[in-house]
Amino acid sequence: MIALLLGGLMAKHTVDYITVVAAMSYPPEIVDLFEIAWTLLCYPFVFFAARASVLFAVTAAGVYLASRLM
């Protein structure tokens, strides 16, 4: 759910940087493809970052509980 909510937001705020960097090396037609590809890649980036954060939180909670019960 986080990826669906924040993926578009991340793409909207970062696509300008990708466009500027791509425009330095590629023609305008290819830059448009970079914009589309970046928008599509933002969703997995957010998804895997959220998944890693949840995994870290669960692991940290488990380590904390294990250390408290010992």
Here the tokens at position 22 are 């791509």
Q: Whole-angstrom Cα distance, residue 2 to residue 53?
A: 12
CA dihedral of residues 62, 7, 45, 43 (deg, nearest 10): 110
What is the structure's pLDDT at 1?
A: 82
**In sequence order, which ranges of 1-70 are alpha helices (DSSP H)?**
2-23, 28-69
What is the structure's pLDDT at 70?
A: 84
pTM over cut 0.85: no
What is the structure's pLDDT at 56?
A: 96
Show pLDDT as tens, one digit a residue, over the chain (70 residues).
878 889 999 999 999 999 999 999 999 999 999 999 999 999 999 999 999 999 999 999 999 999 998 8
